[in-house]
Chains A and B, each alone.
Chain A
Amino acid sequence: MKWKLAIPALLWLGAIGYGQDYYPKNDGVKASDENYTALTNARIHVSADQVIDNATLLIRKGKVEQVGASVRIPENSVVLDLGGKHIYPSFIDVFSDYGIEKPKRAPGGGRTAQYESTREGFYWNDHIRPEQQALEAYSFDAKAAESLRKLGFGTVNSHVADGIARGTGVLLSLNPEGGEGQRVLDDVSGQYFSFEKSVTSRQSYPTSLMGAMALLRQMYHDASWYEKGGASNTDRSLEALLAQRGLVQFFAAADKENILRADGIGDAFGVQYVIHAGGQEYENIDAVKATGAALVVPLDFPEAFDVSDPYQAGYISLADMKHWNQAPTNPKVLHENGIRFAFTLNGLKKQSDFMEMVRKAITYGLPESAALRALTSEPARLLGKADQIGSLQPGRLANFLITSGPVFDKETTLYENWVRGQRDVLADMEQKDIRGTYSLVTGGKTFTLEVGGKAGSPSLKVKRDTTDLKGKIGYTGDWANISFSDGEDRYRMAARVRENTADLQAKTVLPNGQETRLTLRRTAAYEGDKPKEGEEDSAPEVLPLTYPNVGYGYSSLPTRQDVLFQNATVWTSEDAGILENTDVLVRDGKIARIGKGLSPGRARVIDASGKHLTAGIIDEHSHIAALSINEAGHNSSAEVKISDVVDAEDADIYRNLAGGVTSIQILHGSANPIGGRSAIIKLKWGKPASELLYEDMPKYIKFALGENVKQSNWQSYSRFPQTRMGVEQVFMNYFQRAKEYQAKKASGKPFRYDEEMEVLAEILRGERFISCHSYVQSEINMLMKVAEKMGFRVNTFTHILEGYKVADKMAAHGVGGSTFSDWWAYKFEVLDAIPYNAAIMHNQGVTVAINSDDAEMSRRLNQEAAKTVKYGGMSEEEAWKMVTINPAKLLHLDDRVGSIAEGKDADLVLWSGHPLSVYSKAEKTYIEGVPYFDLEQDAQIRSRMEQERKTLIGMMLDEKDGGAKRTPKMNRKERLHCDSL
């Protein structure tokens, strides 16, 4: 630790002894201060839940001795009569980086990624740094401590906010005097984690959120293996992690969904994190509540956007506007749901906005007591330090605030912040409140002066008759300085505020330069700022949530319906073929009956005459609805899971529904020969990510071959493999190791749990299926041979653009092909890609699907399927199967979806016409009997969104009279593809 000398330039009253009594003293005589300080006549908020009127707080040597209405004041006491002022415990921030030197960004970073770690004797990944001690990086920062005290804080828990495992925090008292011996309350107070990499290392892994999650899981596995003596080396990171597991574990999730991600990791390893939230928990409060985690909640409510320019306003998304409107309700919603939370300053752009933001939360419904708890007892409890801080019971540190009134009131003045009995005067509480109305007569003119605002820093309004004049007031100590001008003449005055009269006697400099004494006669007492019309009484208008709470969200989730589609042309995608004038009955989310003249019973009847009913489209290769696609930090990333990062609020889900798509496989990208595990989801727009995933989701993993994995198209020359020859060796090596891993595991000997190897072993056992990105025939053939040597089968080749050259071999191996309809020429390896590929593979007996790999194209896979009719002469019935039952087969879902058959999920699309026609559109899209897309419903949503925009723009204009400073920045997500890094 850098023990810096503390030189606070502060006003020090009431010096309480802070010398260490066993330290020798050479600059004077040694003395101790055994005196008491008694603060009497106060309204003491002992804690958020206990208030005592006319009470006394007795402190000595930096601690509370007694508190109560009948405290006996010892003789050697300094008594301060507070005359009804309030005392509160001072505030605590558990998620601070106060006093911590900002970690320095590692230099360099060429185009070639750095794969190795830079440290020795530590964990293999530089971003795992549990050995990092905040105490080591801490030095006293007098200025920052002062500004924190000004906001009412007395204690902060500081940490190095850098890395995935960030090491320990340090609990710091903000007293200016007394040295670090009286500041460091706990030098290992909690252990911190996040999903963000350290800036101090350029080690590439992990490049993604899902990679960070996998890394944390592996870290815990490795720690447990290390603890059992599995490793032959010393790993100071794991040792620190193990040593610190008994501490409070904080997780910087900073996002409503990341809370769930962090909690999931914790659950798997028996850790309950205290989680730093993102501020949007009001949107998924049930799921957040279910984690059982206590939260650390930011107060960075967004500012209003500048919407005065209609062109500019057009760039702001409804979701961002709504967040501005709804975010201040977040603390209230957390409170109402019984979630325990502490506030943090972290995230606030200007810390000085802190009080205003707390007040905003209160205005939006958070009880004041809950706000106080979130700043005092709750953070103390989270830290396990409730016996020291967060309340004013005897024995606690004498950390308290003296205020003029209720601490969160707008007009309350925060007079003093005592930390460990050290008194920091923020405003002079002896100062008289001079607010009120005064009359001044001079030179035949009569002026009215209204002094308002805060008692400690008043504001001035001057009037002559009814004309408003310019004026200002300064008020320090006993002196008020007033100046104003009536346009002709300027007046300056200095008044000593006397105790014995309400009038102000002021030495005045008259316009002619003469000095005189004038009396400002007090004519009325201060009444408080008058609320603007209608402002005070009406609670702020908050728009209701939608599902999801972004554009095109539903006002209420659509519900399952029993439906009878009457008289449709039914494309069964089964042997039954295409049935004319046929009814399909949906009951309880399943296809109940197919036939003619079916009785609806209670089902809602939909006249489908002239329309076509098909199974929902299934896209075998999609990258929508995910927050990351590639983990590019290693050439094998089997440990990552797309299901960890499903984004249920991606507008492309809704757009896909509008194109008749009901199921997709979200594949990992093609950065590595061995990619990550897939998520297979239904596009249940409005539901949380966890409910989009298929139940008993078939297990898949993405593999990739060719230019992307050998990094041919960018300047990268250091990663193995650089050739197709090397790609084979990656596979051989990993599968061989997986076999050895399985053998070791089966032998009962101790082994290091390796998530990557576990996944590869699943492939070897036939429990997990491969969908492999592939282009040219040589590599396609190669992977089939690798699989045959290793004793498993490749399930699917995706892209597979030269599949037509080896279709016979594919059929013999038993692998399916999921391909583009007509893409080619975008890189060298697709020069021989032809649109007849699907037809040739199909003719050779390969199960063929048409996929998108593209958020736009996936919305019209019906048209892409139709191209196989043009290119290669597929029958329409077979063409349609390529986007329904065939991808279902390739995903091992054909017993549940992909066709219209009794007993299957009612994932159905009603088309305006022939589903393969360019002229047709999806009118209704059902998933398990729930209408997730409907043209009429879509029209209603559009007009509701229009209305919401109008309302919100109006509210923003009102709030800032059009003068809001925040310019729009659309939060638009990057659209991800196979090669998105």
Chain B
Amino acid sequence: MKPHYIVIALFLFLVGAPGNAQQTPAPPQEGTISITGATLHLGDGSIIENGTLTFTDGTITAIGADVAPAGRVIDASGKHVYPGFIAPIKSLGLIEIDAVRPSDDEDEIGGMIPHVRSLIAYNAESKVVESMRPNGVLLGQVTPQGGTISGTSSIVQFDAWNWEDAAVKIDDGIHLHWPRSFRRGRWWLGEPRGLQPNKDYADEQVEILDFVRSSKAYGTGANADVNPAYQAMQGLFDGSKRLYVYADGEREIIDAITALKEAGISKVVLVGGYQAYKVTDFLKEHSIPVLVSEPHALPAMEDDPYDLPYRLPKMLVDAGLLVGIQNEGMANFQTRNLAFYAGHVAGQGLDREKALQLISGNTAKILGIDDRYGTLEAGKSATLFISEGDALDMRTNLLTHAFIDGRELSLETHQTELWKRYSGKFARQ
């Protein structure tokens, strides 16, 4: 740590982070940094024991057991190095306090609003985003919520002055919530509360497909007037954007994938996939990756086994699918537990390095940022961290260093500052 950082850190500690202090983003990497003696978890399913990793100008230059250290050397003997974890399908930075409406920018009105973009509302100074970092979550897909087509997401890194600074991949994908063939009774309209067939299911599908087809038709002709919604959809037909389709039921998954593929959308990602384990052959046949819901969920159906959500990611991996974990349905602060989701799946018998892929290498591939992120590999971004121990287990997920594009970021947060402030108070008594 350079002297002026120490001064800043000390200053922050003494002042005690009043109001909305946020950790100052780190400056660009200067000189080469080497991490030595560590267990390197590559994020591609493999591991290098007692390895060395060097990076310069934000890019990994060498990695292996017999790489010669250069530049500043961080001795990480006995420690573990991981690629920065990636949190897909989250409204991080779009809402700060769930119950405080003025802090909520995650859900715009309108049913089909692909032109609504999350990036420009992303709060790079969010305290909740900041709290991701000490647990190793360094990147996220900032995603609008609600509606049928919620809008367009972007992928950001979590150490930035502003949203432009934060952007890793702008407008990467569009988010579509497929209707449900069964839905809960609208008790406020006098319906019984239980699940019941959704009579509008067919109509709702037609509405979506009409919109998709119209968007496609719009793109093939010369249009005098701009239709912002159709315009925003164009990337889906040339493959420059992904379509994230949210579906949980077996029938909905089959309906959604079949219809969207037929409509000419090339890159479709399934989000949720509660019953995806029943249609793995179908998903493989269509090469559909799955961003499966977090394992820390109760069974959705009364009679489903208690551990179905625990095992679901493993079942999909075992079936040969490309799988990542998202926790869209959870409050944003929970996303710092991403590593423990992966750990929990490993507890169900999935190889630990494969479990790691669910929140790193696989996710990068699914989001289309694997050219730079997701794994530890020469030529890729030095977005990584060092943990005292196994980062997938809560007892040993203890970060000592974290880097985004080679920049060494602070691991302090609003929360660590309060911790130190009050521990200090009691120490003085």
Find out whether the CB atom of B429 lies under 8 angstroms from the CB atom of A870.
Answer: no
CA distance A831 to B97 in the complex (A): 8
Given A827-B98, A860-B296, A918-B340, check contact A942 B305 (CB 8 Å).
Answer: yes
Contact between A870 and B395, CB atoms less than 8 A apart: yes
Write out the residue numbers on chain B whose beta carbons fall within 8 Å of the beta carbon of A969. Answer: 185, 192, 194-196
Judge whether A855 is part of the interface by a CB distance below 8 angstroms. Answer: yes
Closest to A914 in B: B395
Known A-B contacts A866-B395, A870-B397; A317 and B250 likewise in contact (beta carbons under 8 Å): no
Q: How far is the CB of B153 from chain A (nearest CB, A)?
A: 21
Chain A residues, Cβ within 8 Å of B185: 969
B36 to chain A, nearest CB (A): 25
Q: Is B398 interfacial (CB 8 A cutoff)?
A: yes
Q: How far is the CA of A968 from the CA of B181 in the complex (A)?
A: 12
Chain B contact residues: helix, strand, loop or mixed: loop
Chain B: minimal CB distance from A329 (Å): 22
Asked if B5 is at the interface of the complex by the 8 Å CB criterion, the answer is no
Q: Which of A552, A859, A945, A970 has the most CB of B within 10 A?
A: A970
In whole angstroms, what is the CA distance A805 to B423 when docked? 9
* Stretch of A586-594, A647-655, A662-670, A763-771 contacting B (4+ beta carbons < 8 Å): A647-655
A824 beta carbon closer than 8 Å to chain B: yes
Q: Does A836 contact B (CB under 8 A)?
A: yes
Tell whether A921 pairs with B303 under 8 Å between CB atoms, given A825-B331, A870-B397. no
Whether B393 lies near A919 (C-beta < 8 A) is yes
CB pair B298–A855 under 8 Å, yes or no, is yes
Partner of A319, one of B302, B346, B392: B302
Interface SS of A by simple majority:
loop
CA A974 to CA B392, docked complex, whole Å: 33
Q: Is A379 an interface residue (CB 8 A)?
A: no
Do A826 and B395 form a contact, CB below 8 Å, given A312-B197, A945-B303, A967-B197?
no
- Contact A713/B97 with A840-B422, A970-B195 known, Cβ cut-off 8 Å: no
- Could you tell me if B395 and A916 are in contact, using CB atoms closer than 8 angstroms? yes
B99 interface residue per 8 A CB criterion? yes
CB of B331 within 8 A of CB of A654, answer: no
One of A805, A825, A827, A856 near B297 (C-beta < 8 A): A856
In the complex formed, the residue of A with least CB distance to B333 is: A825
Instruction: Quote the shortest CB–CB distance from B352 to chain A (angstroms).
Output: 8
Cα(A316)–Cα(B429), bound, Å: 61
The reply on B415 being an interface residue by CB < 8 A is yes
CB distance from A827 to the nearest CB of B (A): 4
Q: How far is the CA of A824 from the CA of B340 in the complex (A)?
A: 18
Nearest chain A CB to B378 CB, angstrom units:
31
Structural contact, B303 and A834, CB atoms closer than 8 A:
no
Q: Mark A835-869, 1 if CB is under 8 A from B, else 0.
A: 11000100110000000000111011001001101
What A residues does B261 contact at CB under 8 A? none
Please give the distance in Å from A298's CB to the nearest CB on chain B: 18
Is the Cβ of A876 less than 8 Å from the Cβ of B429?
A: no
A residues 946-972 touching B (CB-CB < 8 Å): 967-972
Number of A-B contacts (CB under 8 A): 155
**A320 → B minimal CB distance (Å):** 9
Bound Cα distance A658, B392 (Å): 22
Q: How many residues of A contact B (CB 8 A)?
A: 67
Known A707-B99, A834-B418, A918-B393; judge A970-B426 contact (CB<8 A): no
Contact A918 B347 (CB under 8 A): yes
Q: How many residues of B contact A (CB 8 A)?
A: 55
Given contacts A312-B197, A651-B302, A856-B297, contact A863 B344 (CB under 8 A): yes
**Within 8 Å CB of B298, what residues of A?**
652, 655, 855-856, 975
User: Considering residues A318, A834, A844, A919, which has the most beta carbons from chain B within 10 angstroms of its beta carbon?
Assistant: A919
Decide if A315 touches B182 in the complex (CB within 8 Å).
yes
A312 to B303, CA, bound (A): 14
B328 contacts across to A, CB distance below 8 A: none
Q: Contact string, A881-924, partner B, CB cutoff 8 A, digits 1/0?
A: 00000000000000000000000000000000000111111000
Complex contact A869–B395 (CB within 8 A) = yes
Set of chain A residues within 8 Å of B127, measured between Cβ atoms: 825, 831
Which B residues lie within 8 Å of A917 (CB)? 347, 393, 395
- Cβ–Cβ contact B302 & A970, under 8 A: yes
User: Within residues 176 to 213 of chain B, which ones have a CB less than 8 A from any CB in chain A?
Assistant: 181-182, 185, 192-197
- Does any Cβ of A come within 8 Å of B307's Cβ? yes
Partner of A826 from the list B193, B249, B333, B392 (CB cut-off 8 Å) is B333
Q: A315-B195, A920-B347 given as contacts; is B99 within 8 A of A869 (CB)?
A: no
Asked if B337 contacts A822 (CB within 8 A), the reply is yes
Chain A residues with CB under 8 Å of B422's CB are 804-805, 807, 840
Which chain B residue lies CB-closest to A714? B99
Which residues 399-414 of A sit at the B interface, judged by CB distance below 8 A? none
User: Contacts A825-B333, A826-B99: A870 and B296 contacting too (C-beta < 8 A)?
Assistant: no
B347, A826: Cβ atoms under 8 Å? no
Q: What is the CA–CA distance of A919 and B396 in the complex, to the nearest angstrom?
A: 12
- Let me know if B196 and A968 touch, CB within 8 A: yes
Q: Is B394 an interface residue (CB 8 A)?
A: yes
Contact yes or no, A866 B394, CB < 8 A: yes
Taking CB atoms, residues of chain B closer than 8 Å to A942 are: 305
B419→A840 contact, CB < 8 A = yes
Interface centre among B306, B348, B396, B419 (most CB of A within 10 A): B306
The answer to the question of A808 belonging to the interface, with a C-beta cut-off of 8 Å to chain B, is yes
Shortest Cβ distance from residue A868 to the other chain B in the assembled complex, whole angstroms:
9
Q: Which of B100, B250, B332, B429 is in CB contact (< 8 Å) with A828?
A: B100
Report yes or no: A836 in contact with B426, Cβ–Cβ below 8 A: no
**Interface check A49, CB cutoff 8 A:** no
For the complex with contacts A654-B306, A807-B422, 8 further pairs of A-B residues with Cβ separation under 8 Å are A317-B302, A825-B97, A834-B419, A856-B296, A918-B346, A942-B305, A970-B194, A971-B194
Pairs across A and B, CB under 8 Å, 28 listed: A314-B301, A317-B303, A318-B303, A804-B422, A824-B333, A825-B331, A826-B98, A827-B98, A828-B100, A831-B127, A834-B418, A836-B416, A856-B296, A863-B394, A870-B395, A872-B419, A916-B394, A917-B393, A918-B346, A918-B393, A921-B348, A942-B305, A967-B196, A969-B194, A969-B195, A970-B302, A972-B193, A972-B302
- 8 shortest A-B CB distances, which residue pairs? A918-B343, A827-B99, A836-B419, A969-B194, A551-B303, A919-B347, A970-B195, A834-B415
Which residues does B use to contact A, with CB under 8 Å?
96-100, 127-128, 181-182, 185, 192-197, 249-251, 296-299, 301-303, 305-307, 331-333, 336-337, 340, 343-344, 346-348, 392-398, 415-416, 418-419, 422-423, 426, 429
